Amino acid sequence: MREMAGQIERWLEAEESIALATVVSSEGSSPRPPGSRMAATASGHMVGSVSGGCVEGDVLRQAGEVLVSREPRLVRYSAVDESGWQVGLACGGTIEVFIEPLSAIHRQLLAALENQETVALATRMDGRGHLLAWQDGRLMGDQSLAGELAAILAAERLPGRTAGLRRLPEGDVFMEVIDRPATLTIVGAVHIAVSLVTLAQELGFYVRLVDARRAFATRERFPDVDELTVAWPQEALDARYLRPQDAVVVLTHDPKFDGPALEQALRSPVGYIGLLGSTTTQERRHAALRARGFGDADLARIHGPVGLNLGGRQPTEIALAILAEIVAVRNRSERAAGRR
């Protein structure tokens, strides 16, 4: 939803009629998990994805019908014979997609996402309403779902987004927690960071750049970074940006920066810590950290030399290798927790 927000807002400004399609369940080798979304207009435009391309055309058609009837519908797509002409998933899985007109609740959800808020959304599969809940206790919509939704918002504080169908006395309800995006904190406004900012944003990260050197950390060099912080890492790295779904990459190659940044990261639950530098540099940093009281389990959390070995030496190639490793680590963590 977050990645579609800008386009949806532009459609709303143009007074387009909009339908929202949400994957509410998936089985087998389905290409998109529950919570994946696609938006479509009555004029035939679309953004987002529910299947990676297999069924979007049919969803677009059905979204047009929903906008005419104003009646939500649940559509099931399964695998098809490759020689057939019917719509389905070539991957062999099954998904259920709930298609509904964009509502006032969804517009409030867009505003919450714009404000980087964590919210929970419940959608009744009978089309009778929604409930939006904030962490501070605010509620908007169908109050009969308040207890269940508040419980998952409090309990399911897992990396990323948690979503699924719940069987309740009121009927089937799709519930999800939508957290603010994962943050990548880059320590060191060096040349590699230019490409790393761009690629990370393409992957949906909120990107912070931290460097105490004002000549390096400028908007001229990093015009698109989400947050530019001119400060020492021990001042800039705090709990707001060091959650299990977040990442820290240290690129300064200078012990005055590397040491404090690694110490702050190791004292947090951040899911990925990467350190630029040769094997010799890694050994020196590890020795300094041991002298500060960190043990083998702590040092094992540091990925260094940072990035997967893709064989590249150019700044963009190194940035790609770093993000490839971050994604691999995150996906392994999610699979281990049973979220994929």
Q: 301 versus 127: which is more confidently predicted? A: 301
CA distance 13 to 35: 25
Dig out the tokens for 295 from the structure.
């043990």
Give 209-250 pLDDT, tens digit per residue: 999 999 999 999 999 999 999 999 999 998 888 999 999 999
CA distance 290 to 305: 18
- pLDDT for res 158: 39
The answer to whether the CB of 219 falls within 8 A of the CB of 245 is no
Average pLDDT in the chain? 87
CA distance 22 to 246: 26
- pLDDT for res 79: 57
* pLDDT higher than threshold 70 for residue 259: yes
Residue 216: helix, strand or coil by DSSP? coil
Give 129-167 pLDDT, tens digit per residue: 899 988 888 889 888 777 776 666 665 443 344 678 888
DSSP character string of 89-136: BTTS-EEEEEEEE--HHHHHHHHHHHTT--EEEEEETTSS-EEEEETT
- pLDDT for res 86: 44
Give 112-127 pLDDT, tens digit per residue: 988 888 888 999 999 8
Residue 79 is classified by DSSP as B
* pLDDT higher than threshold 60 for residue 339: no
**Looking at residues 187-203, what average pLDDT do you find?**
95
Give 319-333 pLDDT, tens digit per residue: 999 999 999 998 887
The letter for the amino acid at 35 is G
- pLDDT for res 30: 60
The answer to whether the CB of 39 falls within 8 A of the CB of 47 is yes
The answer to whether the CB of 289 falls within 8 A of the CB of 299 is yes
Give 3-state DSSP helix, strand, coil % of the chain, rounded to 5. 35, 25, 40
Confidence of residue 26 (pLDDT cuts 50, 70, 90): confident
The answer to whether the CB of 37 falls within 8 A of the CB of 1 is yes
Residues above pLDDT 70, as percent of the chain: 88
Confidence of residue 87 (pLDDT cuts 50, 70, 90): very low
CA distance 24 to 254: 48
Confidence of residue 91 (pLDDT cuts 50, 70, 90): low
9 exposed, middle or buried (CB, 10 Å; 0-12, 13-18, 19+)?
A: middle
Lowest-pLDDT range, 210-214, 278-282, 336-340?
Answer: 336-340
- pLDDT for res 160: 42
Lowest-pLDDT range, 217-221, 228-232, 283-287, 309-313?
Answer: 309-313
Pick the CATH number of 183-336 from 3.40.50.1820, 3.40.50.720, 3.30.43.10, 3.40.50.620: 3.40.50.720
Give the β-pairing of 18-27 and 302-303. unpaired
Give 161-188 pLDDT, tens digit per residue: 467 888 877 788 898 888 888 999 999 9
CA distance 314 to 227: 25
User: Could you give the residue range(s) of every CATH 3.40.50.720 domain in the chain?
Assistant: 183-336
CA distance 66 to 100: 6
Give 28-86 pLDDT, tens digit per residue: 666 678 889 999 999 999 999 887 667 888 999 999 999 999 999 999 887 554 433 34
CA distance 225 to 111: 21
CA distance 270 to 248: 8
The letter for the amino acid at 86 is Q
